[in-house]
A and B are shown apart, each in its own frame.
Chain A
Amino acid sequence: MALKIVKGSIDRMFDKNLQDLVRGIRNHKEDEAKYISTCIDEIKQELKQDNIAVKANAVCKLTYLQMLGYDVSWAAFNIVEVMSSSKFTYKRIGYLAASQCFHEGTDVIMLTTNQIRKDLSSPNQYDTGVALTGLSCFVTPDLARDLANDIMTLMSHTKPFIRKKAVLIMYKVFLKYPESLRPAFPRLKEKLEDPDPGVQSAAVNVICELARRNPKNYLSLAPLFFKLMTSSTNNWVLIKIIKLFGALTPLEPRLGKKLIEPLTNLIHSTSAMSLLYECVNTVIAVLISLSSGMPNHSASIQLCVQKLRILIEDSDQNLKYLGLLAMSKILKTHPKSVQSHKDLILQCLDDKDESIRLRALDLLYGMVSKKNLMEIVKKLMVHVDKAEGTTYRDELLTKIIDICSQSNYQYITNFEWYISILVELTRLEGTRHGHLIASQMLDVAIRVKAIRGFAVLQMATLLDNAHMLTGNTQRNGICEVLYAAAWICGEFSDHLEDPLQTLEAMLRPKVATLPGHIQAVYIQNAAKLFATVLRAQEGVPDSQKAQETSQLLIDRLPLFVQSANLEVQERASCVLQLVKYIQKLQQKEVAVAEEVSALFAGELNPVAPKAQKKVPIPEGLDLDAWINEPPSESESEDEKPRAVFSQEEPRHTRPRHTEVDEKELARRREARKQEQANNPFYIKASPSSQKVYPEVPGVEHIPVVQIDLSVPLKVPGMPMSDQYLKMEEERRQKEKEEKKKKEKKKKKEKRGRGRKHESGPESEEDITPAHTVDIVTEEMPENALPSDDDDKDPNDPHKALDIDLDNLVVGASRRPLADSEKLPVRTHRPTDILKSPVEGAELESVSQEPKKKSKKDKKEKKKDKERKKSKEEKKKKKHKQEGDDELEEASEEPVQAGENPVAAALPATAPAEGFNLDFWLSNVPVPSNKQEATVPVLPPALDAAQVSEPEEHKDMEPEETKFSKHKKKKQKKEKEDKKKKKRHHRHHSDEGGDESVQNGTVEEEEPLPPMSNYCLLAENSYIKMVYDIQGNLQDGSQVVVSVIFENKSTSFLKSMEFNVLDSLNSKLQRPDGAGPHDGLSVPFQLPPGVSNEARFVFSVQSIVMPQKLKGTLTFIVKSEESSTHEKLDFKLHFTCTSYLITTPCYSDAYAKLLESGDLKSSSVRLEGVSMSFHHLLARICFHHHFSVVERIDSCASLYSRSIQGHHVCLLVKTADQTVSIDAKCDEPSLLGNVLDEIKQTFSMC
C-alpha cells in the first residue's frame, strides 16, 4: 500500500505543478496560447486519473489559468471532487478553485451541499474555515437556505477563528436568503460583545452592512454601539461604528445630540486621519439631521470645516481628496460655511490630479450665487480651453450647465450671457454632450420668453456657420446643437432678421450629411420658416419674390426626398408637395400666407418631466389587459421594424418634446385633421409643429434687446460671453451708483446709517436681473397625483432585508399592540421544523386527541436511546405531514392566520427595546428631557418574514437531529430531564426565548385582548394620572416612572408640579441644586382634553420589597374668567415587578442557571384560571416583564432579571384550570413578592 502511494507520488513528480506551468508560460512568450492549450490537454488527462493528488495539482493549475482569462467551468465537477478530499491540502485547493470560478449558474453547486455541511461540522477547525471562506464566494440561495442553520451553530463555535468567519458569512447568507435574518439576529447581536476582538469586529461589520441599507431596523442597537464606541480601541471597529451612526442619526435626532459630544472629542483627540475623517463625516450627518433645534451647532460646523480645510491643504493628495469629499456633504446643508473657503476650492481646480479637480467641481455647484456665477463660469471656461483629455472637459461642460441651470436658473441674471456661453461651448472639440447643450438651448428659448429674440439671432448665426461644427466628422456629438438651433429658428421665426437667409442656410446640400433626426427637424422647420417668409413677402406688391422662395424649396427639397432616412424622406416629400401646391396657388395670385401659417399656429407650453406619469389612470381602465387577443409568439417579425425605428432616432424622442407635442396634438386634432389631410406626419417624431402667432398675448411685452447683431460667432482674442460679463458688471455698477445716489439722498434726509450699506459688499438681493425673466412654469395634468413614489430599484437585494428586528430582540413598544398591528411570525424556524409542523400535522389529522398523543410520542422519543429510530419516526411524520398538507390545504390558511395572534402576544411579553432606546436617549439630562415624546413605534413591517415555507426544512431536519444528538450527551439532570432534552433538541435554533411560544395549539387562535401596564395613579374632576414603572437597564439603582396626565376638564391646566415625599429607600431624582422637598415642574401645559406623558426618574436602593410613596400634584386651572390653584394627592406603588426587566435568555444559559444551585425556590398555585395557556403566559410576560425561554405544551419556562441583576426563573404548568408556578430566584423575598403580585394579577380577572 505504502509502496503504491510512493509510486503514485513518483509519477506525480513528472507532472507539471503550478510552478512549472508558470515557468513554462513565461518561457513561451511567443506562442503562449498554444502552450497553454497543450497544458490544458495535459490537465484534462490528469483529471481523469484516480489519484486525488494529481487531480488537485491539475485543479490548482486551472485556477491559475482562470486568472489568465481561460474559462475552466468545464472542470467544475473535478473541482467538487477535489473539494471533497479528506486531506486539508487538497480540500483547500478545491475550495480555492471553486471560489474563483463557481457562481449561481454553476449546476454542480447543488452537489456540494452535503460536502460543505460535512466540512462545516468537521472537527478540524481549518477544514471548517476553508469551507466557510469558499462558501462566502459562491453561496447561492439554495446553499444559504440549506446551510443557514449549520452556520448559525458555528457562530458559537469555541474557536474565535471559526466564529468570526461564521459571523461574517452570515451577511452573505442574509443576502441570499433573507428569511434567515430574523432567527439569526439575536445571536449576531450577542456577538457584538464577543470577548474576541476579531469576532466582535466581524459582527460590527455585518451589522453595519445591514444597517447601511435599512438603518431604521437597527436603531434599537444604538445604545449597544454607543457603548462599543466609547469603549473600543480598535480603530477599524470605531470607524465602522461611527459610519453606522452616520446612517442612524437621520432617523433619530436625539441620537445625534448624544453623539455630538463624544465625536467632537474624538475629532479633537485622534491623530488617526481616517478616524478623524469618519468622525467629521458623522458629525456632518448629525448636524444635517439636527438642522433645526440645536442652537450651538454652528460651532461644530466650524470645527468640521476647519479640520477639513487642514485636510485639503495637506500635501497628501489622498487627504485632499477626502477633505473635498466631506466638504461637499457640508455644502448641502450649510453652504455658507463652505462658501467662505471658496479660494481654497478654486485653487483645487488647478490641481494636477484629475480626481481632485472633479471633487472641486462638485463643490463649485453649491458655491455659486447670483453675484459670482459669471465669474466662476468664466474661470471654468478657461479650464475648458486648457483641459486636455475629453473626459475631463466633458465633465467641465456638464458642470457648467449644471451650475447654471440649477434650481430653475436661479442664479442667472442675464440670459443673453448664458446663451452666449452655450454657443461658445459648441466650439468644443469632440464633446459627447452636444445633446445636453441642445436641450439647454431649447429649454431656455422656450421657457424664457424675453430671451427668444436674442436666442433666435444667435441660432441663426449658428446655422449659418454650421459648416464649422460639422466640418470634422469626429465632432459628431456637437451637431446635436443644430437640432436645437433649427428648431428655435423655425419655431420663433418671427424674431428673425432675415428669415430668407436662414431658410437658405437650412437647405444647403451639406445638410444632407447630418444625422437623420437633425435633417428631419431641419425640413420641418424650413417649412415653418417658409410660412414666415411668405407672410412677409405677400404684403409686398412684388409677388415674384414669394414665388422665388417657393422655387428655392422646390429646388432644394428633392435632395432630401432621396434621403435614406425614412423620416427625412417622408417629411421632405410632404413639404415638397405642399410647396408645389402653394406655388400653383401663387401663380394664380391667391393669397396663401395666412393659411400656410395656420399650419403651424399655436402656443407651446413646457410640460413637467413627470407629468406623464402623474396622469391618473381613469377608472375602469386596465392598462395590463390586452386590447386584442395576445399575438402568438411566432409573430416576432412584427416587432423588428418597430425596434429599427426607435433605434434610428434615439435622441429624437426626448420626452419633453414628444409630450409637448402629444398634448398639443390632442387639443387640436380636429383643426389639424382638416388642414393637414394630406400631411401624414409622424406624430411622435415632429418636435413641434406650432408657431407662435403674433397676436399671442405677452409677446408685445418682450423687451427688445439692443444688441449689435454683427457679433460674429468668434471674436478673435475675446470670447463673446466676456462682453456680457463686462456689460453685466457695468450694469451692476450703474445700479449701484444709482442706489448710492438714492442713499445719498436718503442720507441727506436722515443723517447717518447709510455708510455701512455703501461700503459693504452688495448682497444677493441687490442684484436685479438684466431683464425680467418669466420662467414659464411647467405644466402638470390637472388632477395629478401628488405622491413621489418614483425611484426605488425593485431589484435591490437589500430590499428583502428590510426586516424589523426590534420585536424580535425585545418586544415592541410599551403599549400593547392593537389587533391590527399583529406581528406575523415566521413559521419556518428550525424550532418548528422539529415540532410544530409535525405536531401541527398530527393535530390536524388526529383531530380530537392531539395533546396526549404528541406528548406520548415525545416521551417515547426521549427514552429511545437509539436516535435512528426516532429519526425514522420523524421521517414518517414528515410523510404524514406532506399528505396532510395536500389533504387539508383548505384548512391550512386558517391555521396560519391563527398563528398571528400568538405573535401579537410576543411583543407584549418583553419590554421594548424601543423603550430602552428611548430611555437611553432621553436620560442624558434627566429632568429637562423627560417630556420628550416617545420614540415613534417602529412599524412592524416584516413582510419577508411573513412567508412561511414548510418545505425546505425537511432537508434540514436530519441534520438537526445529528446536532442535537451530539449535544445531548453532555447533559443530565433529573428533575427537568425531560424538559431539557426537549430543549437541546432544538437548541441551535432557539434564539430569543419569546419565539418558542409559537408552536401553536388550536386554542391559541383566539386573539389576545389588549393589555396595558398603566394603572391609575389618581384622578379628580380636572385631571387623571396613570402611570407605569420600568427599570433602567443601564443603571441598577434607577427606575423610571412614566405618568400620563390627562386633562378631563374644559379649562387649561398649567404650572403642574409633581412632588413625592422621598423615603429612605426611594428618592425622586431632582435636578442639581434643588432641595430634597422641591417638586418637579411638569414640562408642558395641558389644553382641555389633551393628554401628555412625563417621565420621572427615581433612585432605589433595595428592590426586594414593594413600597409606596406619597406624592402630590399641584396645578393651576385656568378658565376664561378665573384661575384656581388645585392639588391632587396620590400614592405611587412600586411593585417588585417593576424592578424586573424583560431579558431574553437562551435555553442553555437558562439550564445552567438552574443547575448552578444558587437559586432558592418557591411555588404558588392559582386555582380556577380559565384563560388559555398562551393567554396566561402573555399576561405574565407583559405585566411582570418576563420572557418565555421555552414552552412545551402546557408547560413553559420563563425568565426575567431585576435591575440589580437578580435572576428570576419560573416554571409555569397548567392543568384543569389550575396553574402551578414553580419559581427560583437568588433573592427569596423578591421572589415571594413577585409571586404574590402574579397571584394578584390573576385574582383580578
Chain B
Amino acid sequence: MIKAILIFNNHGKPRLIRFYQYFAEDMQQQIIRETFHLVSKRDDNVCNFLEGGSLIGGSDYKLIYRHYATLYFVFCVDSSESELGILDLIQVSTIYIFMTVFVETLDKCFENVCELDLIFHMDKVHYILQEVVMGGMVLETNMNEIVAQVELQNRMEKSEGGLSAAPARAVSAVKNMNLPEIPRNINIGDINIKVPNLSPF
C-alpha cells in the first residue's frame, strides 16, 4: 500500500500531496517538512530508499523518492509494494518492464512537463495520478492506457464546457499570454534520459 505521494520542489514547497491515510492539515504539512528534511540532505548518487520518517507509520514503511531537476517525487509505501517496482513507477525509463508510469504520463499529458505545469495545474496532475494510483494501490501500469483515459476525460470536459465556457477560456488564454515572468524552459532536465546505472533492467 502506498501511504502518501508527495511532490515538492527543491525548497520544500509542496506541488502535489496525496495522502491515502487521513492526517489533519497541520500534520500533513509537518510530514512534508520532515520528508523534505530527510530527502533534501541526501546526495544525488545515494540510493533512493529511506527508512521511514517517524511521522507516517513505523518501521514497516519506507520512503522511496526520486529527484528530478527541481522536483522531488516521494512515495511513502509499506512493505507490500516491491521497492524497485515502485521506483519504476516514479522513475523515467526502464528498458524492460514497467513504463515509468507517472512521470512519463505527466510528460505526455503536458508535453514536456516542468515544474510550472505542476504549479498551475495541480488539479490536472491529480486527475492523472488518479488513473495511476487509486486508494493507495497501483491501478494501472500501462502508460498508453492511462494517457488514453486521461485524454478521454479531458475531451469530455471540453465538450461539456461548450459554448458557455468559451468566454472564460478566452479570458484565461489572454491572462496566460502575459503570464510567464518565469521562462518555460525549466524543464525537468533529465526526464527523458535513461538512468544509466539502471541499465541492468
CB within 8 Å of B: which residues of A?
A: 2, 5-6, 8-10, 12-13, 17-20, 22-23, 26, 53, 60, 63-64, 66-71, 87-89, 92-93, 96, 100-101, 103-104, 126, 132-133, 136-137, 139, 161, 164-165, 168-169, 171-172, 197-198, 201-202, 205-206, 208-209, 212, 234-236, 239-240, 243, 271-275, 277-278, 314-322, 325, 352-356, 358
- Determine whether the beta carbon of A239 is less than 8 Å from that of B168: no
- A164 to B142: give the CA distance in the assembly, Å: 13
Q: Which residues of B contact A68 (CB under 8 A)?
A: 14
Are B140 and A164 within 8 A (Cβ)?
Answer: yes
A8, A206, A271 — most chain B CB neighbours (10 Å) = A271
In Å, the complex CA distance between A6 and B168 comes to 10
Residues of A within 8 A of B179 (CB): 23
- Residue on B nearest A160 in the bound complex, by CB: B145
B193 at the interface (CB under 8 A from A): no
Q: A801 to chain B: closest CB distance in Å?
A: 14
Known contacts A70-B25, A274-B85; A171/B135 CB under 8 A = yes
Interface string of B164-201 (1 = CB under 8 A from A): 11111011100110010000000000000000011011
Q: Do A168 and B142 touch (CB < 8 A)?
A: no
30 CB < 8 A contacts A-B? A6-B163, A8-B164, A13-B171, A13-B172, A19-B172, A60-B123, A64-B123, A69-B28, A71-B24, A87-B160, A88-B157, A136-B134, A137-B20, A139-B135, A161-B149, A168-B134, A202-B137, A209-B80, A236-B138, A240-B82, A274-B83, A277-B82, A277-B84, A316-B197, A316-B198, A317-B45, A317-B48, A318-B47, A318-B87, A356-B47
> In the bound complex, do residue A126 and residue B153 qualify as a contact, i.e. CB atoms below 8 Å apart?
yes
| Given A18-B122, A235-B96, A318-B47, CB of A273 within 8 Å of CB of B137 | no
Q: What's the dominant secondary structure at chain A's contact region?
A: helix
Q: Who on chain A is nearest to B171 by CB? A: A13
Q: What residues of B have a CB within 8 angstroms of the CB of A315 in the complex? A: 197
Pair B49/A6 contact, Cβ less than 8 Å: no
Contact indicator A208/B171 (Cβ below 8 Å): no
Interface contact B82-A6, CB-CB below 8 Å = no
B28, closest chain A residue (CB): A69
Interface flags, B125-159, vs A, CB<8A=1, else 0: 01100100011111111100100010011001100
| Distance to closest chain A CB from B147 (angstroms) | 13
Do the beta carbons of A165 and B134 come within 8 Å of each other? yes
Within the complex, the shortest CB–CB distance from B10 to chain A, in Å, comes to 16
User: In the complex, which of the residues A89, A325, A356 contacts B157, with contact meaning CB atoms closer than 8 Å?
Assistant: A89
When the two chains form their complex, are residues A171 and B137 in contact, meaning their CB atoms are under 8 A apart? yes
Cα A8 to Cα B166 in complex, Å, equals 12
Contact: A9 with B164, CB < 8 Å? yes
The digit string for B2-27, where 1 denotes a CB below 8 A from any CB of A, is 00000000000010111010101110
Of the candidates A19, A67, A68, A198, the one having the most CB atoms from chain B within 10 angstroms of its own CB is: A67
Partner among B97, B135, B201 whose Cβ is within 8 Å of the Cβ of A137:
B135
Contact with B49, one of A168, A201, A355 (Cβ below 8 angstroms): A355
B26 contacts A69, C-beta separation under 8 Å: yes
Interface residue count on the B side (C-beta < 8 Å): 71
**Residue contact A19 to B134, C-beta cutoff 8 Å:** no
Complex contacts, A320 vs chain B, CB 8 Å: 47
Interface residues of B in 67-83 (CB under 8 A from A): 80, 82-83
In the bound complex, CA of A329 to CA of B201 (Å): 23
Interface residue B119 (Cβ < 8 Å from any Cβ of A):
yes
Interface centre among A18, A68, A93, A236 (most CB of B within 10 A): A236
Are A96 and B123 in contact, CB atoms less than 8 angstroms apart?
yes
CB distance from A1036 to the nearest CB of B (A): 34
User: In the complex, which residues of chain B have a beta carbon less than 8 angstroms from the beta carbon of A202?
Assistant: 137, 139
- For B22, B51, B82, B98, the residue with the greatest tally of chain A CB atoms inside 10 Å of its CB is B82
CA distance A60 to B172 in the complex (A): 16
Let me know if B156 and A271 touch, CB within 8 A: no
Residues of B within 8 A of A19 (CB): 120, 172, 175-176
Q: Does A168 contact B141, Cβ atoms closer than 8 Å?
A: no
CA distance in complex: A93, B179 (Å)? 24
Residues of A within 8 A of B167 (CB): 6, 9-10, 12-13
Which residue numbers of B lie inside 8 Å of A, CB to CB?
A: 1, 14, 16-18, 20, 22, 24-26, 28-29, 43, 45-51, 80, 82-85, 87-88, 94, 96-98, 119-120, 122-123, 126-127, 130, 134-142, 145, 149, 152-153, 156-157, 160-161, 163-168, 170-172, 175-176, 179, 197-198, 200-201
A273–B161 Cα distance when bound, in Å, is 46
User: Would B140 and A198 count as touching, CB distance under 8 A?
Assistant: yes
Query: Nearest CB to that of A164 among chain B residues?
Result: B139
Q: Is the CB of B82 within 8 A of A126?
A: no
- Docked CA distance A1244–B191 (Å): 77
Name B142's closest neighbour in chain A (CB-CB).
A198
Please state if B83 and A9 are interface contacts (CB–CB under 8 Å). no
Q: Tell whether A168 pairs with B139 under 8 Å between CB atoms, given A19-B176, A60-B123, A89-B161.
A: yes
Decide: A322 and B85 in contact? CB cutoff 8 A: no
Chain A residues with Cβ below 8 Å from B22 are 103-104
Q: Ordered nearest first, which 4 A-B pairs have the shortest CB separation?
A: A136-B135, A317-B47, A274-B84, A103-B22
Interchain nearest-CB distance for A273 vs B (Å): 5
Chain B residue nearest to A211 (CB atoms) is B80
B146 to chain A, nearest CB (A): 10
The residue from B137, B145, B161 contacting A198, defined by CB atoms under 8 A apart: B145
Which of B16, B50, B152, B164 has the most C-beta atoms of chain A within 10 angstroms of its own C-beta? B164
Across the interface, which residues of B come within 8 angstroms of A93, CB to CB? Answer: 123
In the complex, which residues of chain A have a beta carbon less than 8 angstroms from the beta carbon of B141? Answer: 201, 234, 236
Give the distance in Å from the alpha carbon of A320 to the alpha carbon of B200 in the complex: 13
Question: Beyond A13-B167, A18-B122, A168-B137, is A96–B80 a contact (Cβ under 8 Å)?
Answer: no
CB neighbours (8 Å) of A317 from chain B are: 45-48
Across the interface, name the chain B residue whose C-beta is closest to A322: B83
Contacts of A70 in B (CB 8 A): 25
- Enumerate chain A residues within 8 angstroms of B152, measured Cβ to Cβ: 126
Give the docked Cα–Cα distance between A317 and B161 (Å).
Answer: 49
- How many angstroms from the CA of A978 to the CA of B127 in the assembled complex? 47
User: Once bound together, how far apart are the Cα atoms of A512 and B96, in whole Å?
Assistant: 67
* CB proximity of B49 to chain A, nearest CB, Å: 5
Chain B nearest Cβ from A89, distance in angstroms: 5
B135, B160, B164, B175: which contacts A169 (Cβ < 8 A)? B135
Known: A89-B160, A132-B134. 12 other contacts (CB 8 A): A9-B165, A19-B172, A66-B25, A67-B16, A88-B157, A96-B130, A136-B136, A236-B141, A273-B198, A277-B84, A318-B49, A355-B47
A321 to chain B: closest residue by CB? B47
Given A96-B123, A96-B126, A314-B200, check contact A235 B98 (CB 8 Å).
yes
Interchain CB contact under 8 A, A12 and B168:
yes
Chain B residues with Cβ under 8 A from A358's Cβ? 51
Q: Establish whether residues A239 and B47, one from each chain, have CB atoms under 8 Å apart when the complex forms.
A: no
CB distance from A260 to the nearest CB of B (A): 20
Chain A residue nearest to B101 in the complex (CB): A236
| Least Cβ–Cβ distance between A70 and chain B, in angstroms | 7
Are A69 and B25 also in contact (CB < 8 A) when A168-B139, A171-B135 are? yes
Knowing A13-B167, A239-B85, say if A353 contacts B137 (CB, 8 Å): no
In the assembled complex, which residues on chain A have CB atoms less than 8 Å from the CB atom of B197?
A: 314-316
In angstroms, Cα B49 to Cα A5, docked, is 52
**A593→B113 CA distance, assembly (Å):** 85
Q: A168-B135, A198-B145, A273-B200 are in contact. Are A92 and B157 (CB under 8 A)?
A: yes
Whether A209 pairs with B160 at a CB distance below 8 angstroms is: no
Q: How far is the CA of A87 from the CA of B165 in the complex (A)?
A: 13
- Closest chain-B Cβ to A310's Cβ sits at a distance in Å of 9
Note all chain A residues with C-beta closer than 8 A to B198. Answer: 273, 316, 318
Q: Are A172 and B140 in contact (CB under 8 A)?
A: no
Q: Are A18 and B123 neighbours in the complex by a CB distance under 8 Å?
A: yes
Choose from A2, A23, A208 the contact partner of B80 (Cβ within 8 Å): A208
Our pick among A9, A274, A319, A356 for the contact of B82 (Cβ within 8 Å) is: A274
Q: Which chain A positions have C-beta within 8 A of B170?
A: 13
